[in-house]
Amino acid sequence: MTSWLAALVTWCSTLLGTGDADLACLELGRLDALRAEAFVSGDPEPLRDVYATPTLREADASVLRGWSDRGLRLEGMAQQRTSCHVVARSGRRVVLDVVDRLGPTRAVGPQQAYRLPSDQPTRRRVLLTWTADGWRIGATR
């Protein structure tokens, strides 16, 4: 699956949850699609447009390097959102309550492919922060 298709699948899957009509939830879907693009392409560069701080970006870049060092790339990686709701909003910050899970994903190497285990939906709080470059993920827990 090419990276643009993975990004499209990710973005579309985020539209299926409740509360997604809020622009902040749609923005999170865009950021999730950029993150998926980085993992599927094996290129950490799109992560620059996802996270507000280098520390957050480096956490994903480290995982990405781990896959690459083992000669693996990912296929799939769509976040399947069940719900997204704004919990708090101020001028430059939006806190979202999100329930999602990793959709079907495979780690593909030169001679083999592994299907990653499915996970259960996870509830998390995501802080979107307005930066000079637009909305970015400022924190997640």
Mean pLDDT of 85-106: 95
Cα 132 versus chain centre, distance = 21
The confidence score (pLDDT) of residue 11 equals: 47
Total-model pTM: 0.84
Q: How many domains does the chain have?
A: 1
Q: What is the pLDDT of residues 30-83, one digit of tens each?
A: 999 999 999 999 999 999 999 999 999 999 999 999 999 999 989 988 889 999
Write the pLDDT tens digit of every residue in 1-11: 444 454 455 44
Flag whether pLDDT at 92 surpasses 70. yes
Q: What is the pLDDT of residue 118?
A: 83
Model confidence at 14, in pLDDT bands (50, 70, 90)? very low
Spell out the long-range contacts of 60-65 with Cβ–Cβ below 8 A and sequence spacing 24 or more. 60/35, 64/38, 64/39
Q: Give the Cα separation of 77 and 6 in Å (integer).
A: 7
Domain of 62? Answer: 3-140
What is the CATH classification number for the domain harbouring 49? 3.10.450
Res. 119 pLDDT band, cuts 50 70 90: confident
Q: What mean pLDDT is reported for the chain? A: 87
- Assigned token pair, 18: 């409740």
